[in-house]
């Protein structure tokens, strides 16, 4: 499972020009599910995202998590995180989970975040979405449950 995590001052996601999810201060999580991902990958990333200390404390150091600052999370499914562009110019997506399994794990991931006390807004699975955000910092972190990076 892979995630691009961005610290934001606000964000929203639209489907067909209609806002389906929005947050204030917090994190945007673009989540990709791989074909070999399971429960342990989901748990690892949910723990990592909620505990990631990328918000500034009173001294200006990144020591606080999204939970510490009472932030929110906007989670958007993004299978293209498993795009492989090492050969040719068009990425292949053979390592991405099939849509049914990816949707199931995406929903479970969002539920785990909620179980950890987070307010979670979402996009809509398998829809063309427009994600608008203000990346505060900017701060962007890449996470991979297989620890490839």
CATH at 45: 3.50.80.10
Radius of gyration of the chain, Cα coordinates, nearest whole angstrom: 15
Q: In Å, how far are 35, 64, 123, 128 from 96, measured between CA atoms?
A: 5, 32, 18, 17
Task: Give the H or E element holding residue 62.
Answer: strand 62-64
Helices (H), the chain: 39-51, 99-115
pLDDT digits (tens, 9 = 90+) for 109-149: 999 999 999 999 999 999 999 999 999 999 999 999 999 98
**In angstroms, rounded to a whole number, what is the distance separating the alpha carbons of residues 109 and 89?**
31
List the alpha helices (DSSP H) in 53-138.
99-115
Catalytic residue positions? Answer: 78-80
For the chain, how many structural domains are there in total? 1
Range of the domain at 58: 2-144
Q: Is the pTM of this model over 0.95?
A: yes
Residue 149 lies in a domain: no
pLDDT for 65 beyond 90: yes
Whether residue 116 is contained in a domain is answered as yes
How far apart CA 25 and CA 75 sit, in angstroms, is: 14
For residue 20, tell me if it sits in a domain. Answer: yes
């Amino acid at each position: 499972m892979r995630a691009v995590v961005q610290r934001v001052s606000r964000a929203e996601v639209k489907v067909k020009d209609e806002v389906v999810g929005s947050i204030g201060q917090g994190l945007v999580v673009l989540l990709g599910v791989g074909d070999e991902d399971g429960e342990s990958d989901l748990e690892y990333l949910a723990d990592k995202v909620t505990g990631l200390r990328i918000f500034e404390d009173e001294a200006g150091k990144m020591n606080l998590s999204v939970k510490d600052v009472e932030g929110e999370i906007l989670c958007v499914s993004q299978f293209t995180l498993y795009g492989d562009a090492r050969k040719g110019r068009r990425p292949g997506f053979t390592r991405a989970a099939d849509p049914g399994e990816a949707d199931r794990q995406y929903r479970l991931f969002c539920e785990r975040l909620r179980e950890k006390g987070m307010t979670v807004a979402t996009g809509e699975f398998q829809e063309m979405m427009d994600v608008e955000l203000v990346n505060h910092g900017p701060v962007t972190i890449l996470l991979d449950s297989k620890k490839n990076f």
